[in-house]
Each structure stands twice: as structure tokens, then as C-alpha cells.
Amino acid sequence: MAEAASSTAPYDVVIIGGGPGGYNAAIRAGQLGLRAACIEMRDTLGGTCLNVGCMPSKALLHASELFETATTEFPTLGIEVGAPKLNLAQMMAQKADSVAALTKGIEFLFKKNKADWIKGRGRIIGKGQVEVTAADGSKTVLTAKDIVIATGSEPTPLPGVAFEDGKVVDSTGALSLPAVPKHLIVVGAGIIGLELGSVWRRLGAQVTVVEYLDRITPGMDSDVAKAFQRALTKQGMSFKLGSKVTGAKTSKDGVDLTVEPAAGGAAETLKGDVVLVAIGRRPYTEGLGLETVGIETDKRGFLANDHFRTGKDGVWVIGDVTWGPMLAHKAEEDAVAVIELIAGKAGHVDYNLVPSVVYTVPEVAWVGQTEDQLKADGVAYKSGKFPFSANSRAKINHETEGFAKVLADATTDRILGVHILGPQAGEMIGEACVAMAFGGSAEDIARICHPHPTRSEAVKQAAMGVDNWTMQA
């Protein structure tokens, strides 16, 4: 006979998932005086982003960038310290230490805001009820007026290519390889694949990227994507675009990957030590008990929403598991909005103003519409473009790859999109987000005094270029 589940006192809101959407929802709920519980099945809070995504990848990107800088740039700068030596175990250890500190920080914020972390796997069992199964198998039922689904996403598998530890890996596996591969094959030329490919290339791997489409980074402005690919190719990364992976065979010597042209043609075999499958992510809804409250996913697995409401009383959805960009900062904005709606306040997120960033060198960042979208929609627009090769700070720092581009309405001058390929692009895109949120024009950015010498002057000069008065190029 199954052991009966114990119950707890009712909560105002129960959140399933402790990633950027879930943990921020719990914190905001606590700030607004709501009694909140956040269910997380991992041993630590933070979800994919903090544990096996955004944060550990940035730790390795930073460390590998410094390693390459010490190898290639130090002599040019007059710094003579001898050839740097890679200690991969220490690099991984400092990554783990940084991640642990961040997850502990979330635990502190839960305590500060009186939010409860319920450890285990959550499953909806009826209206206002969530059953939590702990690691030891014991079950607890939480009740609440409102339930927020924030279960995030997981790597999408590739049919015909089975994962195998250390040989065919997803993004999580690629963050913890025990040695630098001689040849890393990345399947998928999206953000995750290019970031992790960059890490291992800097540390000494030959990197080949296989992509089904005839371009890299779908969703990125094509003008930027072409320049970005040129930069990565110059660094030593190679690309096989318009190519379909049809199978993989592992052996003690590595992996044989079968690839053929997407348009049809003869197959070829690529041999690598490790294959990273990074073809995207899919919503995580396994075992959630959605059927108990009459909720279904769409054909892609996403949960539909109307202002975060699923259409079923008291069940809300945020983050990667629903529509919009699958980004941690989008999930965080969703979290604030949904809790404020639950608390009777106004809550809204403009997905047109969610920025995207690729943390390679050079970085790529953008917000708003691309030129491709504007052309497809028949929107009359003007553009201004400024190269970092003409930016004082970038030249002094030997960071001249790339450009900034501003797109504005041809009649009103309202900013429609900003795209940056260059140093610190991820930091600079925030200026564009603020300007666009307030309905700013290209002239607004052009006439705001920017500090000199800074990389941000490239954005100002690009904005000036919208009206053809760029002064420094």
C-alpha cells in the first residue's frame, strides 16, 4: 500500500521550477508579502542557467579568453611572462566554485524574502494542488490559490545521434570535458554551440561546426551573422553549412559523424574526438501532471498563455516552457510580471525589447528588429553603421573587429533595432533597450553625450549615421 502524502499549510503561490523564472518569482512574491514555495528537483537552486548553462559557460569563456590573450596578445603588449600552461582541472574547479557561490546566494535571498525552497520533483495533481516527491521517495502535497509553472527547457536531442558520456554530449557535457579534444565537432551553429566551440578552440581544439541551414545563428541580422562567421573563421573555427547529420558511430578512438548536404547529395564522414549536439532546446514538461487540470502543450511542446495565464483557474506559466525568447533574462522579466499580476498589480513584458547576446570574441548583441525582418515586412527604414576599426578605445585595445548598426523608421526616426558585433557588445546593448522602451529616436542617441574614449561611442556614431552625419569614419 502506497504511503499517503503529507500536507502543509496553504501557500499563496506555489512555483514549480527553481531557475531564473522560478527563483525570481519566489523572491518577488516574498517582497510583495505573498507566502511562496518554490519546488526544485536539483540539489541547488538556479536551474539550467546557474548550474549547467549561462554561468558555468561564462566562467569558461572568460578563463579561455584570458588564456588565449596571454598566448597571443601579451607579447604584442610588451608583457613577457613565458608560455602559459593550461591547468584544465583548476579551470573547472574555479568554475564550480563560482557556480556554488551563486546558488548559495539564491538560498540567502530566499531566506531574506521568506520564500520556501521545497526540494523534490513537483507534479500538479488537481486544482490548487502540487505533489512533491523528495529524493527519498516521500511525498508532500502543497496547496495554493495560484500555481506557476517555471520548469524551463532541456537540450533537444538529434534523431539518429545517441548521447554517450565524453563522446557525444549536450551542452551540459561540453561544460565538463576531462580533456581538451583534438577535434570537436559542433552540431548546430546557434549561440550555445558557438560559445562552447569558442571555449575549446581557445584551449587548443580543432573545431568544426555543422549546420543544417545555409547560415549561422538564425534570428541574428544576416549582415551581422556574415561578419560574425568571418571573424570566427579567421580565429580557426571551420563551418559546414547546409549540411545534415544523419548518424554517429562511437569507438574507442572517437566518433564518426555521417553528414550529407541538406539539399541532397553524397554523404561524408567526419571524425572527431567529441561531438557536441547543440541544435536548440525544448520545453520541459515531463511528468508535470498537466492532464489533471486540463492543460495541453502545443505541437512544439510549449504551454500557451494569455498574459501568463494558461486558461485554467490559478495556473500560470513563465520562461522557456512558454512562448518568447528562451533566455534567462526573459524568464526573470516573466517572473516579476506574473507575480505582480497574481498580487493584483500590473504586469507586462515586451518581448520585442528582450536583448540577445553571444558571449564570444567579438561579442554579438542585438535588440528589436533585424534588417531582414524590416525588408520582409515592407517597413521603410534608414540605417547607420559604424566600424569598431574607427573607434578610439577599440583601436587602442586591439579590438577592432565588427561594427554597430542602428535601424530607424524612415519617417519618424524611431529606433527599430540595434545590432552590435564587437567588444563588450552585451554591455552596450542596454542603452538601446532603454532608448527603445521610451520610444527614442536615432537622433536621441546621436545627440546624447557619450564618454570618450569608450566603445559606446560606436553606437552613437552609428546613430548619427542614420541621418548621414557620422563624423569619425
Instruction: Tell me which residues are annotated as active site.
Output: 452
Whole-angstrom distance, CA of residue 273 vs CA of residue 206: 10
Burial 432-458 (b: 16+ CB within 10 A, else e): bbebbeeebbbbebbeeebeeebbbbb
CA angle 461, 467, 468 (to 5 degrees): 70
Region at 448 (left for phi over 0; alpha for psi -120 to 50; beta for the rest): beta
Whole-angstrom distance, CA of residue 269 vs CA of residue 253: 14
Backbone angles phi, psi at 133, to 5 degrees: -105, 115
By three-state DSSP, how is residue 417 classified? strand
Q: What are 309's strand-pairing partners?
A: 306, 316
- Name the residue with cell 579590438: 399
Longest dimension (CA), the chain: 80
> Between the CA of residue 189 and those of 237, 259, 262, 264, what are the distances in Å?
11, 15, 15, 20
Query: Other C-beta atoms within 10 Å of 210: how many?
Result: 23
Q: Tell which residue, 433, 424, 408, 435, has the closest CA to residue 364.
A: 424
Q: Which residues contact 224 (CB under 8 A, 6 or more apart)?
A: 364, 366, 405, 419, 421
Q: Tell which residue, 132, 172, 137, has the closest CA to residue 40.
A: 132
